[in-house]
Amino acid sequence: MGSNMCPLPSCRLCAVEGGSLQSNGEMFTLLAFLFLLSGVFSAPCAKRFFPPLSANHFVCVCNATYCDEYEEPSLSSQSAIIYSSSESGDRMSIRTARISTIKGKRGVSGRIKVDPRVTYQEIIGFGGAFTDAAGINIESLSDSTRDKLMQTVFGNKGSRYSTGRVPIASTDFSKTRYSYNDNAGDVKMNNFALAQEDLKYKIPLILRALNLTGGDLRLLSSPWSAPAWMKETGKMEGPGRLRKGLEGAWAKYYVRFFEEYLSHGIPFWATTVQNEPTSGALPDYGWQTMYWNSTGERTFVANHLGPALAASKAAKNLMIIALDDNRFWLPMWANEVYSDPVASSFISGVGIHWYLDLISPASKLTATHNAHPDKLILATEACAGSNRPHHSPAFGEWSRAEGYARSIIEDLNNFVAGWTDWNIALDTEGGPTWAKNFVDSPIIVNSTADEFLKQPMHYALTHFSRFLRPGSKRVQSSTVDIDDVRVMHTAFVFDGQRILNILNTVDTEYDIVIEEASGISINVKIAPKSVTTVIWKKQLMYQ
């Protein structure tokens, strides 16, 4: 390409991967694209570096007047759009690559083959949790910074979260332990009332999120514990079961929760039966929990929760999700809860958490799907920094971004339909948490400076939440000459687009050819330690 064709003073931006321009249409697309890149709309990451001081440890800082945004140039049929985030410095950086109708070039590191004719599960969504901690942090910001944060998470130029998990009453990420009904013996739930935390820290933010997403937000709830008087131990925290005979009252408590939220304009999509029910058997467990084993959960749903929700006005179409605990318990838990046809008629799927993944292979997910192909599997909670010695935020730490992307790709490739993160935002200490269970979050609020920090994890999750819209369908992807433990990948189709996400877990650059079964190919360089999203249009030759 001659320099006289370059529309910008600096020709750096004119380098389009894959060769020279051939048609006027292509030139037009390129000009339109360069216009987007030329700074009219784009807002890059405002980097802040952290020790160990190297180019690799940084976050992107947003405040009342500034936040980096992600562009969405329109897609042509001649080129693919590539977004990448990497340890060495990219954050949703955008470029294009030519789509070639000839066989991919030789001499590359390897190939990723995508076959849209072979389809798997459909996406439900990606998101995070409206915990009290998240709400307290977000509400501590000025109106304009808070708006930037909500735009970042739910907005069109942000992560476009499509799921939100809402705790029913308090969790370890609350400032205190509280329930919605502390009146011992009130089995009719006459004194049920939402807490100040709902009214101040959850409902206003959920309403804003519903507005920003145009209602395209699937809300799912989970209780951590019944009120203290309803538990055998008389305490919300620590192990223990629901007191016998209170199953009907406990089911009524869920229904009242959905009625109250609906009266504030918030409809729910699903509820889990119980957050991490197996933690309720651990003798030294530190915070709110309540024990169910799979048989107990099955009976409670069949006889109480299922019928109570179905008979209610506010929650009659709600989906019920079992387990909501580590995948370690699969496929046994699913086999047990689905073994009773009545329970199975109420239960749409199982929720999984990532905390014991190292000792429970992802093949358990596929085994669960194969045994129950008409039921869902959803990742309902994950967070980094939950283990000592790094029991707190790690600013700018890429390995945590890689952990998110690895878990998401592994889950998606084993029939999981979505992935919901834990706290949407935490403070610089990783709280507040009355239980001192400080952890990390993709967004850290620094309220003394009226700013928030976007951790590398935020970008890793955005590569999925932003592009894999609800209804996207996973399709077959496979590698040739690349080790797919080092270069993980997952491919989707949605609305005439192909979306391929690639995680490079090693310090090597790869020069890859993507080959779609239709005969087209795209040459893409994959940076060391990076997450890359490649999006291209379905080609006319291949309907």
Respond yes or no on whether the N-terminal peptide bond of residue 7 is cis (omega within 30° of 0). no
Catalytic residue from among 381, 402, 451, 515: 381
The DSSP string of 138-154 is: HHTS-HHHHHHHHHHHH
Between 30 and 444, CB nearer to ligand NAG: 444
> In this structure, what token pair is assigned to residue 225?
């514990």
Between 183 and 428, CB nearer to ligand NAG: 428
> In this structure, what token pair is assigned to residue 289?
């929990």
The DSSP string of 304-332 is: IIHHHHHH-SSSTT-EEEEEEEEGGGTTH
Given a contact cutoff of 8 angstroms between Cβ atoms, the answer to whether 508 and 480 are in contact is: no
Between 294 and 407, CB nearer to ligand NAG: 294
In whole angstroms, the minimum distance from the beta carbon of 47 to ligand NAG comes to 9
Contact positions vs ligand NAG (CB under 6 A): 46, 48, 61, 63, 65-66, 211, 214, 293-296, 336, 395, 428, 446, 448-449, 453
Between 329 and 492, CB nearer to ligand NAG: 329
In whole angstroms, the minimum distance from the beta carbon of 188 to ligand NAG comes to 28
How far is 119 from 56, CA to CA, in rounded Å?
A: 38
Q: Which residues pair with 81 in a beta bridge?
A: 96, 535
Q: Which three-class secondary structure state does DSSP give residue 464? A: helix
Given a contact cutoff of 8 angstroms between Cβ atoms, the answer to whether 364 and 422 are in contact is: no
Spell out a b/e string for 117-132, using b for 16 or more CB atoms within 10 Å of the CB, else e.
Answer: eeebbebbbbbbbbbb
Between 297 and 410, CB nearer to ligand NAG: 297
User: What 8-state DSSP symbol labels residue 210?
Assistant: H
User: Catalytic site residue 276?
Assistant: yes
Q: Which three-class secondary structure state does DSSP give residue 134? A: helix
Between 339 and 508, CB nearer to ligand NAG: 339
In whole angstroms, the minimum distance from the beta carbon of 339 to ligand NAG comes to 10
In whole angstroms, the minimum distance from the beta carbon of 215 to ligand NAG comes to 6
With residue 157 as reference, give the H or E element that holds it: none
How far is 277 from 333, CA to CA, in rounded Å?
A: 11
With residue 479 as reference, give the H or E element that holds it: strand 473-480
In whole angstroms, the minimum distance from the beta carbon of 265 to ligand NAG comes to 10
Spell out a b/e string for 444-466, using b for 16 or more CB atoms within 10 Å of the CB, else e.
Answer: bbbbeeebbbbbbbbbbbbbbbb
In whole angstroms, the minimum distance from the beta carbon of 428 to ligand NAG comes to 5
Catalytic residue from among 69, 87, 197, 276: 276
Catalytic positions: 276, 381
